[in-house]
Amino acid sequence: MKHILITGSTDGIGNLLALSLAKEGHFVGVHGRTDAKLKATVTEIKAESKNDNVVGFLADFSNLSEVKQMAKEVAEKMPKIDVLVNNAGVLKAKTETAANGIDVRLTVNYLAPYQFTNAVLPLLKKSDAPRIVNLSSAAQSPVSLSALKGEMSLGANDAYAQSKLALTMWSFDLAKKEPSILVVAVNPGSLLNTKMAKEAYGQHWSPAEKGVDILYDLSMTDKAKTNAYFDNDKGSYAQAHPDAYDDEKIKELVELSNTIVLH
C-alpha cells in the first residue's frame, strides 16, 4: 500500500486517478476547495473502492494561507507521502486575481503547489521511493516576473501558459536539489474531456482517461523519469520550453517564489 496525495481531485482526471488508486487498496489523500464537494467525493470514492483509507483535505489554492494550513493537516493525517500529484489547476476563473493580489492562474497552478510541496518535503522523505508528478501543459510561455510580483495583469491563456512553464522550471530545479525524490512534469494531453476544458473551450479532443492513464503510469510504474518532461500529446518524453533549461532564469524564478510564498 502506498500513500498518495492528489491535489484538485474532486473533479476531472484527478478524481478518476484517486478512484482507481483507492480501488487498488492504496491510502489516498483527496483535495478540494469546497467542503460539500470534498465530503461527497470522499464518500463516493470510499463506497466505490470499498476502501476506507481515503482522507479529504480542504483548501482554496488561490489563498496561500489555506495551502499552508492544509500542509499542516496532511502532516497530521498522513504518516508519509509516497506519491504527490500536483494536479489542481485553473484556467477560467470568476476572479482574475488571487488573495495575494497575483494572477489567480499563477497562484493556483504554480505558487500553491510550490508552497505546498516544499512544506510536505519531510513527509515525502519518509518514503522509500518518493515521487512528485507535476501537471504541466503543452501551453508554456516565458514567465513574467513582474506578473508574478502582482505588478501587471495577464490574459487568462497567457497566465495559464506562464504558470505551467513556471511549474516545469521548478520541477527540474527540485529534481536536482532533491536527488532522493523522483520529480517528473507531464502534459497529460491537450483538451481532455474535463470540466476545465469544457469551461474554457467548450470542446475536447481526447477522453479524460488518456490523462488518467499517463498520470497512473508516472505515479506508479517505472515509466517515470526524474528531471524530465513527458508530453502525452506525443506519447513520449520531450523537450519542454527552452526556459526550463535556463539555469539563470530558473534561479530568478525560485528566488522570487521564495519571497512570495508563506513559510
Q: Does the pLDDT of residue 204 top 70, yes or no?
A: no
DSSP 116: H
What lies within 8 Å, CB to CB, of 175 at 6+ separation is: 181, 182, 183, 184, 226, 227
State whether CATH 3.30.70.940 applies to domain 3-260.
no
Which position has the grid cell 502532516? Answer: 75
pLDDT-derived band at 195 (thresholds 50, 70, 90) equals low
Output the pLDDT for position 199. Answer: 55
Q: What distance, in Å, lies between the first and last C-alpha atoms of the chain?
A: 31
Output the pLDDT for position 208. Answer: 58
Which pLDDT tens digit goes with each residue over 223-262?
999 999 999 989 999 999 999 999 999 999 999 999 999 8
**Residue ranges per structural domain of the chain:** 3-260
Distance CA 215, CA 241 (A): 21
16-20 contacts, C-beta under 8 A, 24 or more apart: 16/208, 16/209, 16/212, 17/85, 17/87, 17/212, 17/215, 17/216, 17/219, 18/45, 18/54, 19/45, 19/48, 19/49, 20/212, 20/216
Distance CA 34, CA 107 (A): 18
Output the pLDDT for position 12. Answer: 87
pLDDT mean over 96-100: 92
Output the pLDDT for position 190. Answer: 66
pLDDT mean over 177-195: 83
What lies within 8 Å, CB to CB, of 139 at 6+ separation is: 157, 160, 161, 164
Which pLDDT tens digit goes with each residue over 23-66?
999 999 999 999 999 999 999 999 999 999 999 999 999 999 99
Which pLDDT tens digit goes with each residue over 147-182?
999 999 999 999 999 999 999 999 999 999 999 999
Which pLDDT tens digit goes with each residue over 104-149?
999 999 999 999 999 999 999 999 999 999 999 999 999 999 999 9
Which amino acid type is present at position 7? T
Partnered with residue 186 across adjacent β-strands are: 135, 230
